[in-house]
Amino acid sequence: MKFCSECGYSVSLRIPPDDDRQRHVCDDCHHIHYENPRVIVGVLPTYGSKVLLCKRAIEPRKGFWTIPAGFLENGESTADGASRETWEEARAKVGECSLYCVFDLPYINQVYMFFRAEMSSDEFSAGPESLDVALYEEQDIPWSELAFPVVTSSLKYYYQDRQSGVFPTRNEVMLFKRPRNG
């Protein structure tokens, strides 16, 4: 950030009164510009014993498999945003979304909120950000070709929890940047 979005004047990094960290502050109108983490919402879509994965058509990690997810938009709930992303990336409709995995990625200022949801039918297809979309049984999951650690962790939790049929909301801080197996 170099200029004030309110008045167009230059900004400087300084600690405002009653604050304890540096912010971009306008040198003219003194508006304080706060920058905060963003929320990524997604769905682990299931269809019976299968899960739906998308092969990424865009960077980062183009060609690797992920679950449908993207930035939460203003004006929508996290579950609505997760359903929207599932439609945009996999052209799949899902039923009720249950909050399942919450991941903190503080090194990139992101919070991930993934839901579990059963697909309304077995209809799906690749949206513009996907090269391919496919339903996978557990033994066929392409573990070495998963796009992100949050995807690997979510699937591991899912197959672990499926044994008991109880899916508590998981909460984990991620401190690494690349899949350990990728």
| Binding flag, residue 57, a second copy (CB under 8 A) | no
SS3 content of the chain, % helix, strand, coil (to 5): 20, 35, 45
| Binding flag, residue 176, a second copy (CB under 8 A) | no
Backbone CA torsion sign across 114, 117, 120, 123:
positive
Smaller CB separation from a second copy, 145 or 161: 161
Query: x/- contact string, 99-128, with a second copy (CB under 8 A)?
Result: x--x-x-xx-x-x-x--------------x
Q: How far apart are CA 37 and CA 123, in angstroms?
A: 34
Please give the residues from 138 up to 167 whose contact with a second copy meets the rule CB under 8 A.
none
| Binding flag, residue 28, a second copy (CB under 8 A) | no
In whole angstroms, the minimum distance from the beta carbon of 87 to a second copy comes to 11
Q: Which residues contact 19 (CB under 8 A, 6 or more apart)?
A: 32
